[in-house]
Amino acid sequence: MPRNLLFILLFCSCFFVSQAQSSHDVLVGGGLDLIKTNNDGLFKKAQLGFEANYFVVRHFAVGFGGELWTNHQKSSFVMGMRWYANDHVFIRFRGLIGANDAALGLGYAKPIATNLLVEGISDFYFTGYFGLRFGLAYILK
């Protein structure tokens, strides 16, 4: 019995410690893929992304954006969603319309100022590639 009580207290304390974005905030940001498994050489191809996410509820956001490549590949419109497990860790799913792909990612957001965040995100693309992205995001309250 004491073990169950300890688990319940620990679980409930997570709600008091967690302070993710509030409902109706907008998170705008952009990033660059530093590593991607389909890149042939260093600086021969780069993938840039930008997005805006609207927090429907405190830990869930829907968003849209774009992806741009430096080589001859088309740009893509992106629609997706994020679920925040706590203030810093999130899971995201994105559909890349134009590249005919989708990506599932795990990310970490670290505040460096009141509304400014540094993000690191690992993405698994359904076409079989893996990418590691770093970027900046800003919270509009």
In a domain, 89, yes or no: yes
**Structural domain containing residue 126:** 20-140
The structure's pTM equals 0.80
In a domain, 15, yes or no: no
CATH of the domain at 115: 2.40.160.20
In a domain, 8, yes or no: no
* pLDDT tens string 98-123: 989 999 999 999 999 999 999 999 99
Output the 3-class SS for the chain: CHHHHHHHHHHHHHHHHCCCCCCCCEEEEEEEEEEECCCCCCCCCCEEEEEEEEEEECCEEEEEEEEEECCCCCCEEEEEEEEECCCCEEEEEEEEECCCEEEEEEEEEEECCCCEEEEEEEEEECCCCEEEEEEEEEEEC
- At 63, the pLDDT band (50, 70, 90 cuts) reads very high
Q: What average pLDDT does the chain have?
A: 85
In a domain, 11, yes or no: no
In a domain, 132, yes or no: yes
Q: Given a cut of 90, is residue 57 above it in pLDDT?
A: yes
- The tally of domains found in the chain comes to 1
In a domain, 4, yes or no: no
Q: What's the mean pLDDT in 3-25?
A: 52
- At 43, the pLDDT band (50, 70, 90 cuts) reads low
